[in-house]
Amino acid sequence: MKHNALIFDFDGTIADTLMEGVGIYNTMAEEYGLLKVEPADLPELRNLSAAGLFRHLGISAHRVPKLLYRGTRMLRGRIANLPLIQGMAETLPKLRSRVSHFGILTSNSVDNVGLFLQSHRLDPLFTFVSSTSKLSGKSKHLKSIRKSYNMDRSKMLYIGDEIRDIRAAKKAGVAVAAVAWGFNSKPALEAEQPDYLLSHPDELDLLLG
């Protein structure tokens, strides 16, 4: 089997959190005097990297950690009621039965992910959930996960919906599948040259051979 260790991003890859996230951001934007995001803005914003998005919104780098921390806390009370990405409820159990390692690496909190997985009765599928509060910290965590679980790097696959997910996996020397059903647009993901570029969750099953 080509990949026997699947590691997923969470927001936008497994959980459909985009519009809830926009709502939470706009609440903070009003309080802090930041530029709000309107639904009509999303097609343009989906082409931007995380750094490009913050520049567009006029958010300085030193404010990002505080906003992410507060946004994550605000999401906690709502996370259990948010939906799965359409098709994931059927796809995840099938994938789990075919691999040795099945985990999540996210910039969201472990508590939020746990509440969401429990609400959708998916928590037994996953062998680990790892979190990094730094937007650029996923490459280091992928390396740590590999060592902690004694994974063969050549058989690992990271699955995510953002430009930064692709860059993190490449930096860690791990294959990456970019999914076009989350935040970043398909052209933006394609420009980063992921190993795989998928349009629907059922395509994930084809990657295992």
Task: Write the pLDDT tens digit of every residue in 3-42.
Answer: 999 999 999 999 999 999 999 999 999 999 999 999 999 9
> Rounded mean pLDDT of the chain?
95
pLDDT band at residue 207 under the 50/70/90 scheme? confident
**Dmax (CA) of the chain:** 51
Q: How is 112-127 classified by DSSP, letter by letter?
A: HHHHHHHHTT-GGG-S
Task: Write the pLDDT tens digit of every residue in 105-163.
Answer: 999 999 999 999 999 999 999 999 999 877 667 999 999 999 999 999 999 999 999 99
Q: What is the pTM of this model?
A: 0.95
Which pLDDT belongs to residue 94?
95
Which pLDDT belongs to residue 122?
98
Bridge partners, 160 (sequence order): 178
9 is catalytic: yes
Catalytic residue among 9, 11, 161, 165: 9
Write the CA distances from 90 to 66, 86, 101, 202, integer angstroms. Answer: 36, 9, 18, 8
Q: How is the chain classified by DSSP, letter by letter?
A: ----EEEE--BTTTB--HHHHHHHHHHHHHHHTPPP--GGGHHHHTTS-HHHHHHHHT--GGGHHHHHHHHHHHHHTTGGGSPBPTTHHHHHHHHHTT-SEEEEEESS-HHHHHHHHHHTT-GGG-SEEEE-SSTT-HHHHHHHHHHHTT--GGGEEEEESSHHHHHHHHHHT-EEEEETTSSS-HHHHHTT--SEEESSGGGGGGGG-
User: Quick one: average pLDDT of 56-84?
Assistant: 94
Task: Write the pLDDT tens digit of every residue in 47-63.
Answer: 999 999 999 999 998 99
Which pLDDT belongs to residue 135?
67
Q: Tell me if 83 sits within 8 A of 21, measured CB to CB.
A: no
For residues 73 and 71, give the distance between their C-alpha atoms in angstroms, rounded to a whole number.
5
| Residue burial 175-195, b: 16+ Cβ < 10 Å; e: rest | bbbbbbbbbbbeebbeebebb
Which pLDDT belongs to residue 2?
86
Which pLDDT belongs to residue 164?
96
